[in-house]
Amino acid sequence: MSLAPQVVVVGSFVQDQTFFCAQFPSPGQTTVGTFVTGPGGKGSNQAVAAGRTGVPTAFVGSVGDDAFAREAAQFYATEGIAAQFITKPKHATATAGILVNDAGQNEIVVALGASAQIKPRDINRNLIANAKVVVCQHEATLAINAHVFRLARQARVTTVLNPAPMRGDFDPAILKHTDVLIPNETEFVALANQLGLAGKTVLTEKKLAALSATALHRLCRGFGVPTVIVTLGKRGCLVSQTDGATLIPACRGIKVVDTTGAGDAFCGGFAAGIVKFDHDIIAAARFANAVAALSVTKRGTAPAMPTAREIAHFLKQSGKA
Protein backbone atom coordinates (compact mmCIF):
# COMPACT_ATOMS: atom_id res chain seq x y z
CA MET A 1 0.00 0.00 0.00
CA SER A 2 1.42 3.45 -0.90
CA LEU A 3 2.03 6.03 1.83
CA ALA A 4 -0.38 8.96 2.31
CA PRO A 5 0.93 11.99 0.36
CA GLN A 6 2.77 14.43 2.61
CA VAL A 7 3.23 16.99 -0.14
CA VAL A 8 0.14 17.86 -2.21
CA VAL A 9 0.54 20.13 -5.23
CA VAL A 10 -2.61 21.59 -6.78
CA GLY A 11 -1.95 23.20 -10.15
CA SER A 12 -1.32 22.73 -13.84
CA PHE A 13 -0.26 19.87 -16.03
CA VAL A 14 0.98 21.34 -19.32
CA GLN A 15 2.32 19.60 -22.40
CA ASP A 16 5.53 21.52 -23.10
CA GLN A 17 6.48 22.10 -26.75
CA THR A 18 10.07 23.27 -26.55
CA PHE A 19 12.15 24.72 -29.37
CA PHE A 20 15.90 25.15 -28.88
CA CYS A 21 17.55 27.85 -30.99
CA ALA A 22 20.86 29.73 -30.96
CA GLN A 23 19.15 33.09 -30.40
CA PHE A 24 15.51 34.06 -29.89
CA PRO A 25 13.99 35.19 -33.21
CA SER A 26 13.17 38.90 -33.38
CA PRO A 27 9.59 39.90 -34.29
CA GLY A 28 9.00 38.92 -37.93
CA GLN A 29 12.05 36.63 -38.05
CA THR A 30 12.10 32.84 -38.58
CA THR A 31 14.94 30.83 -37.12
CA VAL A 32 15.89 27.14 -37.41
CA GLY A 33 16.09 25.06 -34.24
CA THR A 34 15.36 21.68 -32.69
CA PHE A 35 12.21 20.48 -30.92
CA VAL A 36 11.17 18.26 -28.01
CA THR A 37 7.82 17.78 -26.35
CA GLY A 38 7.28 16.48 -22.83
CA PRO A 39 5.44 16.82 -19.53
CA GLY A 40 5.51 20.27 -17.93
CA GLY A 41 3.32 22.80 -16.16
CA LYS A 42 4.39 24.58 -13.01
CA GLY A 43 2.20 22.50 -10.69
CA SER A 44 3.13 19.17 -12.21
CA ASN A 45 6.83 20.07 -12.40
CA GLN A 46 6.78 20.93 -8.69
CA ALA A 47 5.04 17.64 -7.84
CA VAL A 48 7.60 15.68 -9.85
CA ALA A 49 10.47 17.57 -8.18
CA ALA A 50 9.04 16.77 -4.73
CA GLY A 51 8.10 13.17 -5.58
CA ARG A 52 11.50 12.32 -7.03
CA THR A 53 13.16 13.23 -3.72
CA GLY A 54 11.34 10.26 -2.21
CA VAL A 55 8.79 12.22 -0.17
CA PRO A 56 5.26 10.83 -0.79
CA THR A 57 3.66 13.40 -3.07
CA ALA A 58 0.39 13.86 -4.94
CA PHE A 59 -0.46 16.10 -7.87
CA VAL A 60 -4.00 17.40 -8.44
CA GLY A 61 -4.94 19.15 -11.67
CA SER A 62 -7.45 19.18 -14.51
CA VAL A 63 -6.77 18.04 -18.06
CA GLY A 64 -8.69 17.45 -21.28
CA ASP A 65 -9.86 14.14 -22.74
CA ASP A 66 -7.00 13.88 -25.21
CA ALA A 67 -3.68 12.24 -26.05
CA PHE A 68 -1.67 14.66 -23.86
CA ALA A 69 -3.80 13.75 -20.83
CA ARG A 70 -3.27 10.03 -21.47
CA GLU A 71 0.48 10.59 -21.74
CA ALA A 72 0.39 12.55 -18.49
CA ALA A 73 -1.29 9.65 -16.66
CA GLN A 74 1.27 7.26 -18.16
CA PHE A 75 4.14 9.53 -17.08
CA TYR A 76 2.90 9.63 -13.47
CA ALA A 77 2.39 5.84 -13.43
CA THR A 78 5.98 5.36 -14.60
CA GLU A 79 7.27 7.83 -12.00
CA GLY A 80 5.31 6.13 -9.20
CA ILE A 81 3.95 9.52 -8.07
CA ALA A 82 0.27 9.81 -7.11
CA ALA A 83 -1.86 12.00 -9.37
CA GLN A 84 -5.50 12.96 -9.47
CA PHE A 85 -6.30 14.18 -12.97
CA ILE A 86 -9.78 15.69 -13.25
CA THR A 87 -11.04 15.38 -16.82
CA LYS A 88 -12.71 18.41 -18.42
CA PRO A 89 -13.88 16.93 -21.75
CA LYS A 90 -14.84 20.26 -23.32
CA HIS A 91 -11.34 21.69 -22.92
CA ALA A 92 -7.91 20.77 -24.25
CA THR A 93 -5.05 19.82 -21.95
CA ALA A 94 -2.87 22.89 -21.35
CA THR A 95 0.06 23.40 -23.70
CA ALA A 96 3.07 25.71 -23.66
CA GLY A 97 5.27 27.03 -26.45
CA ILE A 98 8.78 27.40 -25.03
CA LEU A 99 11.85 28.88 -26.70
CA VAL A 100 15.27 28.17 -25.19
CA ASN A 101 18.37 29.92 -26.54
CA ASP A 102 22.02 28.89 -26.37
CA ALA A 103 22.50 30.94 -23.20
CA GLY A 104 19.92 28.67 -21.50
CA GLN A 105 17.33 31.47 -21.23
CA ASN A 106 13.67 30.85 -22.03
CA GLU A 107 10.53 32.58 -23.28
CA ILE A 108 7.17 30.88 -22.65
CA VAL A 109 3.54 31.22 -23.76
CA VAL A 110 1.14 28.93 -21.89
CA ALA A 111 -2.44 28.15 -22.99
CA LEU A 112 -4.16 27.01 -19.79
CA GLY A 113 -7.14 25.24 -21.42
CA ALA A 114 -8.52 22.55 -19.08
CA SER A 115 -6.14 23.57 -16.29
CA ALA A 116 -8.18 26.71 -15.66
CA GLN A 117 -11.42 24.68 -15.32
CA ILE A 118 -10.71 23.07 -11.94
CA LYS A 119 -13.50 23.66 -9.41
CA PRO A 120 -13.68 23.47 -5.59
CA ARG A 121 -15.82 20.29 -5.86
CA ASP A 122 -12.85 18.61 -7.62
CA ILE A 123 -10.70 18.93 -4.50
CA ASN A 124 -10.53 15.98 -2.11
CA ARG A 125 -10.63 17.61 1.35
CA ASN A 126 -9.04 14.60 3.07
CA LEU A 127 -6.07 14.66 0.71
CA ILE A 128 -5.40 18.26 1.71
CA ALA A 129 -6.12 17.78 5.43
CA ASN A 130 -3.81 14.75 5.69
CA ALA A 131 -0.84 16.43 3.97
CA LYS A 132 2.02 18.26 5.70
CA VAL A 133 2.52 20.81 2.92
CA VAL A 134 0.23 22.08 0.19
CA VAL A 135 1.62 24.01 -2.79
CA CYS A 136 -0.22 26.19 -5.35
CA GLN A 137 0.84 28.42 -8.27
CA HIS A 138 -0.99 30.67 -10.76
CA GLU A 139 -1.62 28.25 -13.65
CA ALA A 140 -4.94 26.80 -12.43
CA THR A 141 -7.30 29.43 -10.99
CA LEU A 142 -6.73 31.94 -8.24
CA ALA A 143 -10.10 30.88 -6.78
CA ILE A 144 -8.97 27.27 -6.43
CA ASN A 145 -5.80 28.42 -4.67
CA ALA A 146 -7.88 30.38 -2.16
CA HIS A 147 -10.14 27.36 -1.61
CA VAL A 148 -7.24 24.93 -1.16
CA PHE A 149 -5.40 27.24 1.24
CA ARG A 150 -8.54 27.73 3.36
CA LEU A 151 -8.90 23.94 3.65
CA ALA A 152 -5.20 23.57 4.44
CA ARG A 153 -5.25 26.27 7.09
CA GLN A 154 -8.28 24.68 8.82
CA ALA A 155 -6.23 21.47 9.06
CA ARG A 156 -3.00 23.30 10.09
CA VAL A 157 -1.24 22.18 6.92
CA THR A 158 1.66 24.41 5.75
CA THR A 159 0.70 26.47 2.68
CA VAL A 160 3.26 27.42 0.03
CA LEU A 161 2.35 29.88 -2.72
CA ASN A 162 4.50 30.25 -5.83
CA PRO A 163 2.85 33.27 -7.55
CA ALA A 164 3.94 32.18 -11.02
CA PRO A 165 3.20 33.42 -13.54
CA MET A 166 2.23 36.71 -11.89
CA ARG A 167 -1.29 37.73 -12.91
CA GLY A 168 -3.02 41.09 -13.13
CA ASP A 169 -6.04 39.69 -11.25
CA PHE A 170 -3.96 38.57 -8.24
CA ASP A 171 -5.93 39.03 -5.02
CA PRO A 172 -3.62 39.75 -2.05
CA ALA A 173 -6.27 38.30 0.31
CA ILE A 174 -4.65 34.86 -0.20
CA LEU A 175 -1.52 36.09 1.58
CA LYS A 176 -3.42 35.85 4.90
CA HIS A 177 -3.63 32.10 4.35
CA THR A 178 -0.04 31.72 3.11
CA ASP A 179 2.81 30.41 5.29
CA VAL A 180 5.54 30.56 2.67
CA LEU A 181 5.55 32.83 -0.40
CA ILE A 182 8.12 31.97 -3.10
CA PRO A 183 8.34 34.57 -5.89
CA ASN A 184 11.18 34.94 -8.40
CA GLU A 185 12.52 38.45 -9.06
CA THR A 186 9.89 39.29 -11.72
CA GLU A 187 7.03 38.14 -9.52
CA PHE A 188 8.48 39.88 -6.47
CA VAL A 189 8.65 43.21 -8.29
CA ALA A 190 5.07 42.87 -9.58
CA LEU A 191 3.73 41.92 -6.14
CA ALA A 192 5.68 44.64 -4.32
CA ASN A 193 4.42 47.29 -6.76
CA GLN A 194 0.81 46.04 -6.51
CA LEU A 195 0.96 46.26 -2.73
CA GLY A 196 2.88 49.55 -2.78
CA LEU A 197 5.67 48.13 -0.62
CA ALA A 198 8.32 50.45 -2.05
CA GLY A 199 6.28 53.56 -1.18
CA LYS A 200 6.07 56.07 -4.02
CA THR A 201 8.98 54.44 -5.88
CA VAL A 202 8.25 51.91 -8.61
CA LEU A 203 10.42 48.86 -7.99
CA THR A 204 12.14 47.35 -11.05
CA GLU A 205 14.19 44.16 -11.39
CA LYS A 206 17.29 46.33 -11.81
CA LYS A 207 16.58 48.14 -8.55
CA LEU A 208 15.81 44.84 -6.84
CA ALA A 209 19.16 43.38 -7.94
CA ALA A 210 20.94 46.36 -6.38
CA LEU A 211 19.24 46.01 -2.96
CA SER A 212 21.18 44.74 0.05
CA ALA A 213 19.88 41.60 1.76
CA THR A 214 18.67 43.80 4.63
CA ALA A 215 16.71 46.10 2.30
CA LEU A 216 15.18 43.15 0.45
CA HIS A 217 14.25 41.54 3.77
CA ARG A 218 12.54 44.78 4.85
CA LEU A 219 10.44 44.76 1.66
CA CYS A 220 9.60 41.06 2.16
CA ARG A 221 8.20 41.84 5.61
CA GLY A 222 5.59 44.07 3.96
CA PHE A 223 3.70 41.02 2.63
CA GLY A 224 2.68 39.97 6.14
CA VAL A 225 3.60 36.35 5.32
CA PRO A 226 5.72 34.46 7.92
CA THR A 227 8.30 33.28 5.35
CA VAL A 228 9.11 34.89 2.01
CA ILE A 229 11.75 33.25 -0.19
CA VAL A 230 12.87 35.29 -3.17
CA THR A 231 14.60 33.12 -5.75
CA LEU A 232 17.45 35.04 -7.36
CA GLY A 233 18.50 32.79 -10.26
CA LYS A 234 22.24 32.17 -10.30
CA ARG A 235 22.56 34.29 -7.13
CA GLY A 236 20.57 31.72 -5.11
CA CYS A 237 17.76 32.86 -2.81
CA LEU A 238 16.94 35.12 0.10
CA VAL A 239 14.95 33.59 2.94
CA SER A 240 13.10 36.27 4.92
CA GLN A 241 11.52 35.19 8.20
CA THR A 242 10.03 37.20 11.03
CA ASP A 243 13.32 37.01 12.97
CA GLY A 244 15.74 37.84 10.14
CA ALA A 245 17.01 37.02 6.68
CA THR A 246 19.42 34.42 5.29
CA LEU A 247 21.02 34.71 1.87
CA ILE A 248 21.73 31.26 0.44
CA PRO A 249 24.12 31.39 -2.53
CA ALA A 250 23.37 29.20 -5.55
CA CYS A 251 25.29 25.93 -5.86
CA ARG A 252 28.48 26.36 -7.86
CA GLY A 253 30.36 24.15 -10.32
CA ILE A 254 27.38 23.07 -12.40
CA LYS A 255 26.99 23.30 -16.17
CA VAL A 256 23.84 25.28 -17.01
CA VAL A 257 21.99 23.74 -19.96
CA ASP A 258 18.36 24.88 -19.59
CA THR A 259 16.96 26.90 -16.70
CA THR A 260 13.29 26.30 -17.65
CA GLY A 261 11.56 24.93 -14.56
CA ALA A 262 14.32 25.99 -12.13
CA GLY A 263 11.76 27.84 -10.04
CA ASP A 264 9.54 24.74 -10.06
CA ALA A 265 12.44 22.52 -8.99
CA PHE A 266 13.08 24.96 -6.14
CA CYS A 267 9.43 24.99 -4.97
CA GLY A 268 9.02 21.20 -5.21
CA GLY A 269 12.38 20.64 -3.51
CA PHE A 270 11.43 23.11 -0.80
CA ALA A 271 8.08 21.41 -0.09
CA ALA A 272 9.84 18.04 0.15
CA GLY A 273 12.51 19.64 2.35
CA ILE A 274 9.86 20.90 4.77
CA VAL A 275 8.82 17.26 5.30
CA LYS A 276 12.37 15.86 5.32
CA PHE A 277 13.71 18.47 7.76
CA ASP A 278 10.62 18.68 9.95
CA HIS A 279 9.68 22.29 9.07
CA ASP A 280 13.26 23.64 9.30
CA ILE A 281 12.85 26.41 6.70
CA ILE A 282 16.55 27.10 6.15
CA ALA A 283 17.43 23.41 5.75
CA ALA A 284 14.52 23.06 3.31
CA ALA A 285 15.68 26.10 1.31
CA ARG A 286 19.25 24.75 1.10
CA PHE A 287 17.87 21.43 -0.12
CA ALA A 288 15.69 23.29 -2.66
CA ASN A 289 18.76 25.17 -3.91
CA ALA A 290 20.47 21.86 -4.65
CA VAL A 291 17.39 20.37 -6.36
CA ALA A 292 17.07 23.51 -8.52
CA ALA A 293 20.79 23.57 -9.39
CA LEU A 294 20.64 19.98 -10.59
CA SER A 295 17.51 20.69 -12.65
CA VAL A 296 19.29 23.34 -14.75
CA THR A 297 21.95 20.86 -15.84
CA LYS A 298 19.42 18.99 -18.03
CA ARG A 299 17.06 19.91 -20.84
CA GLY A 300 13.30 20.01 -20.23
CA THR A 301 11.18 20.63 -17.17
CA ALA A 302 9.63 17.65 -15.32
CA PRO A 303 12.07 15.16 -16.91
CA ALA A 304 14.98 17.35 -15.68
CA MET A 305 14.04 17.05 -12.00
CA PRO A 306 16.75 15.17 -10.06
CA THR A 307 16.19 11.86 -8.29
CA ALA A 308 16.91 11.24 -4.60
CA ARG A 309 20.07 9.38 -5.59
CA GLU A 310 21.33 12.27 -7.78
CA ILE A 311 20.63 14.79 -5.01
CA ALA A 312 22.43 12.67 -2.38
CA HIS A 313 25.44 12.24 -4.69
CA PHE A 314 25.55 15.98 -5.46
CA LEU A 315 25.31 16.99 -1.79
CA LYS A 316 28.03 14.51 -0.84
CA GLN A 317 30.28 15.67 -3.68
CA SER A 318 29.84 19.33 -2.74
CA GLY A 319 30.45 18.61 0.95
CA LYS A 320 26.90 19.59 1.95
CA ALA A 321 25.56 16.14 2.86
Which residues of this chain interact with ligand RIB, rule CB under 6 A? Answer: 14, 16, 40-42, 45, 96, 108, 110, 139, 260-261, 263-264, 301
Residue closer to ligand RIB by CB (options 231, 241) is: 231
Nearest distance in Å: CB 93, ligand RIB: 11
Residue 96 binding result from ligand ATP, ligand RIB, none, given CB thresholds of 5 to 8 Å by partner type? ligand RIB
Nearest distance in Å: CB 105, ligand ATP: 8
Phi/psi at 104 (5° precision): 85, 5
**CA pair distance 111, 232, nearest whole angstrom:** 26
Nearest distance in Å: CB 261, ligand ATP: 5
Q: Which residue is nearest to ligand ATP (CB)?
A: 263
Residue closer to ligand ATP by CB (options 92, 192) is: 192
The catalytic position among 16, 179, 258, 264 is: 264
Nearest distance in Å: CB 260, ligand RIB: 5
Residue closer to ligand ATP by CB (options 63, 164) is: 164
Residue closer to ligand ATP by CB (options 79, 264) is: 264
Residue 232 binding result from ligand RIB, ligand ATP, none, given CB thresholds of 5 to 8 Å by partner type? ligand ATP
Residue 264: active-site member: yes
Nearest distance in Å: CB 266, ligand ATP: 4
Residue 192 binding result from ligand ATP, ligand RIB, none, given CB thresholds of 5 to 8 Å by partner type? none
Residue 45 binding result from ligand RIB, ligand ATP, none, given CB thresholds of 5 to 8 Å by partner type? ligand RIB
Residue 251 binding result from ligand ATP, ligand RIB, none, given CB thresholds of 5 to 8 Å by partner type? ligand ATP
The sign of the CA dihedral 144, 147, 152, 155 is negative
Nearest distance in Å: CB 253, ligand ATP: 9
Interface residue list for ligand ATP (CB under 6 A): 106, 184, 231-234, 236-237, 250-251, 254, 256, 259-264, 266, 289, 292-293, 296
Question: Over the chain, what HEC string results?
Answer: CCCCCCEEEECCCEEEEEEECCCCCCCCCCCCCEEEEEEECHHHHHHHHHHHCCCCEEEEEEECCCHHHHHHHHHHHHHCCEEEEEECCCCCCEEEEEEECCCCCEEEEEECHHHHHCCHHHCCHHHHHCCCEEEECCCCCHHHHHHHHHHHHHCCCEEEECCCCCCCCCCHHHHHHCCEECCEHHHHHHHHHHCCCCCCCCCCHHHHHHCCHHHHHHHHHCCCCCEEEEECHHHCEEEEECCEEEEECCCCCCCCCCCCCHHHHHHHHHHHHHHHCCCCHHHHHHHHHHHHHHHCCCCCCHHHCCCHHHHHHHHHHCCCC
Residue 115 binding result from ligand RIB, ligand ATP, none, given CB thresholds of 5 to 8 Å by partner type? none
**CA pair distance 101, 22, nearest whole angstrom:** 5
**CA pair distance 62, 69, nearest whole angstrom:** 9
Residue closer to ligand ATP by CB (options 108, 129) is: 108
Residues known to be catalytic: 264
